[in-house]
């Protein structure tokens, strides 16, 4: 059935399959040439985009008799895809064509004349050759013109592919940046190539743990969306503070915020000082934060710090988490508050 997409509509009116097309016509050959020209322009089969939405049989029915009331729903689908087409023909976006805007418009005008509904209104091959010579002047015959067009479209395709590869690379970079905020880069590299991220042992690191004093009571007295806004404001503030120190944000669990130093990148004996300075900075920041959700109430931060050996690894396959284990993270959260 799809072979009939190259067949002129006056022949399709009496043909149900390709075997029915016993004898062609000059006008029908001109129509078929227009379909082939559209293939050269789009570098794809005829109606490739449209056939994702309507079947080949429906397309042929629309080509032959788009006034059939039984095709009204299919016609609406077609019109939503090709709003500027009065007849059912392959749609060629300007991006597929080379040359100036004038050349593009004249080429599309030639196609509209070539596959006109009225066979007598179609161009002759002699006229087509003249139009192509004017649009793409080369001192050769029709086939050489077509080859020249194909070469031009190939170069244009390379440009389109390059642009899309650049956009794909940009999107890939965005995704990698987002993922790198959830997992260490060394772990991401292992997982990206299908390898298992082996746990690592760190002899001496410092871990910081904090939560909001009375958070359960606070959450009961405000709206759920206000809880989200409150935690978001708080964590954005904390994240900006971490950027100034040699620390790594391990995870957040509700109002709990866990940070470590000396993990991933060893820093000698500096981990304790880095965490201590970070915690002081966070305590000062919490005192200054404005909380419109809480009337006449200041947030109080409870925090604990511990130093010791840990094992760090990735747990889970769905939404994997990089987390720490062993004594250094067993922190009494009532050690101090601000």
pLDDT digits 0-9 by tens, 107-123:
888 888 888 888 898 88
Looking at domain 2-163, its CATH class is mainly alpha
Sketch the domain layout of the chain as residue ranges. 2-163, 185-337
Lowest model confidence (mean pLDDT) among 203-207, 286-290, 325-329:
325-329
**CB of 50 within 8 A of CB of 91?**
yes
Looking at the chain, how many residues does it have? 338
pLDDT tier at 148, thresholds 50, 70, 90: low
Residue 337 has pLDDT above 50, yes or no: no
**Run of H or E including 311:** strand 301-315
What does DSSP assign to residue 123? Answer: P
Whether the per-residue pLDDT at 281 is higher than 80: the answer is yes
> Angle CA(217)–CA(218)–CA(222) in degrees, nearest 5?
120
> How many other CB atoms sit within 10 Å of the CB of residue 205?
26
Q: What is the pLDDT of residue 335?
A: 41
CA 200 to centroid of chain Cα atoms: 34
- The whole-angstrom separation of Cα 187 and Cα 125 is 64
Q: Report the CATH superfamily, name and number, of domain 185-337.
A: Nucleotide cyclase, GGDEF domain (3.30.70.1230)
CB 89 within 8 A of CB 31: no
Residue 334 is predicted with a pLDDT of 38
């Amino acid at each position: 059935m799809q072979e009939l997409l190259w067949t002129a509509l006056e022949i399709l009116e009496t043909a149900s399959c390709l075997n029915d097309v016993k004898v062609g016509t000059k006008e029908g050959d001109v129509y078929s040439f227009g379909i082939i020209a559209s293939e050269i322009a789009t570098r794809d089969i005829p109606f490739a985009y449209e056939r994702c939405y309507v079947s080949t049989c429906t397309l042929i029915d629309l080509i032959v008799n788009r006034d059939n009331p039984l095709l009204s729903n299919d016609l609406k689908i077609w019109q939503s895809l090709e709003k500027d087409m009065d007849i059912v023909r392959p749609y060629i976006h300007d991006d597929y064509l080379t040359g100036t805007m004038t050349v593009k418009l004249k080429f599309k005008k030639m196609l509209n004349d070539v596959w006109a509904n009225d066979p007598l209104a179609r161009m002759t091959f002699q006229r087509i050759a003249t139009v192509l010579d004017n649009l793409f002047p080369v001192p050769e015959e029709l086939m050489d013109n077509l080859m020249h067009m194909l070469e031009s479209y190939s170069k244009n395709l390379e440009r389109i592919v390059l642009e899309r590869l650049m956009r794909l690379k940009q999107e890939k970079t965005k995704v990698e940046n987002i993922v790198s905020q959830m997992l260490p880069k060394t772990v991401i590299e292992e997982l990206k190539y299908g390898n298992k991220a082996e746990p690592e042992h760190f002899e001496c690191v410092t871990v910081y743990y904090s939560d909001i004093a009375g958070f359960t009571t606070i959450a009961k007295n405000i709206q759920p969306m206000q809880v989200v806004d409150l935690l978001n404001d708080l964590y954005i503030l904390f994240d900006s503070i971490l950027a100034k120190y040699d620390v790594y944000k391990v995870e957040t669990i509700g109002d709990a915020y866990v940070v470590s130093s000396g993990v991933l990148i060893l820093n000698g004996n500096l981990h304790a000082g880095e965490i201590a300075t970070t915690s002081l900075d966070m305590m000062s920041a919490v005192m200054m934060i404005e909380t419109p959700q809480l009337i006449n109430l200041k947030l109080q931060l409870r925090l604990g710090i511990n130093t010791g050996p840990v094992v760090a690894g990735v747990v889970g396959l769905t939404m994997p988490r990089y987390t720490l284990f062993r004594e250094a993270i067993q922190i009494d959260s009532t050690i101090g508050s601000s």
